[in-house]
Amino acid sequence: MSQHAKGLVITALAMLVITPDALLIRLIDTDPWTLAFWRGVLSAVGLLVALAVIYRGRFLAAMIAPGIPGLWIGTLFGVAAVAFVWAITHTTAANTLLILATGSMFGAAFSWWLLREPLPMRTALAMVGSAVGVVIIVGGDIGGGSLDGDLSALALAAICGLTYTLIRKHAVTDMVPTAAFAGIVTAVIAALVSVPVAVPSGDLGWLLVMGLVMLPLGFGLQFIGARYIPAPEVSLLFLLEAVIGPLLVWAVVHEYPGETTFIGGAVILMTLALHAAWSLRGLR
């Protein structure tokens, strides 16, 4: 298998692993801060155990290798995890995942600003198209009770764009260990805001699957797969979650996204898909 094919398989698998995340958050009956706390603790434990098995005698060296940049990236990733839980519990899963899909456009903007990378016309047009889609989605919630969830999802997209830009800036260093630090940051933030409580025993299984298996595996595969394929292909594969995630929530808990979400989401998905296809054509 070629390196490119390996990257496609790993990244696609990462998206499929992480896709049920929104559904599991819906199924676990607890407050957002308790959920964020246990997600952070369990994902950190799961990643640390996995890294200890993989690196063995080089575990400590691997953990400190990211240095100060790793601390920044881990902190941003931890804040993003909190924003995701807040968004998914204060607006629809479709709104959250569709707005989150615009993170690649934020990434392009941060790459232009921080890395001095050129901003192609196709990317500028895609930013405008994505912004139109987000305005349609958010506009449908003005005056409703889910606007703060939409805004949290927008902040989440911006944080993710900045985080992945910094990862690319320090690509020579294995940044997977920073995801474990991010879990600790998430747990600390949640604990400072609200005292975490016990999760209902009936939901404990879902929480353990999410925190110990799904999140560590999904995040780790994302970091690894992105090394082998171009950024446009990564963005295109990330759309899997934006499409499949809301459908899972709709099918299981019957959460109807709403007409404006369908319209705005169609604009975002079409814009990002065309941008990825256009970018790949240029790479070839």
| Maximum Cα interatomic distance, the chain, rounded to a whole number of Å | 56
The SS3 of residue 74 is helix
Domain residues of the chain, as ranges? 3-283
pTM of the model: 0.89
CB 50 within 8 A of CB 155: no
φ and ψ at 170, to 5 degrees? -115, 45
- 76 has pLDDT over 80: yes
Task: Encode pLDDT of 2-49 as tens digits.
Answer: 776 787 788 889 888 999 999 999 999 899 999 999 999 999 999 999
| Half-sphere exposure in the Cβ direction for 271 (13 Å, CA) | 26
- Average pLDDT score over residue span 165-182: 84
Q: How far apart are CA 70 and CA 174, in angstroms?
A: 9
Torsions phi, psi of 96, nearest 5? -60, -50
200-212 per-position pLDDT tens digit: 888 999 999 999 9
Is residue 235 within 8 A of residue 104, CB to CB? The reply is yes
| Beta-carbon contacts of residue 120 (< 8 Å; ≥ 6 apart) | 279, 282
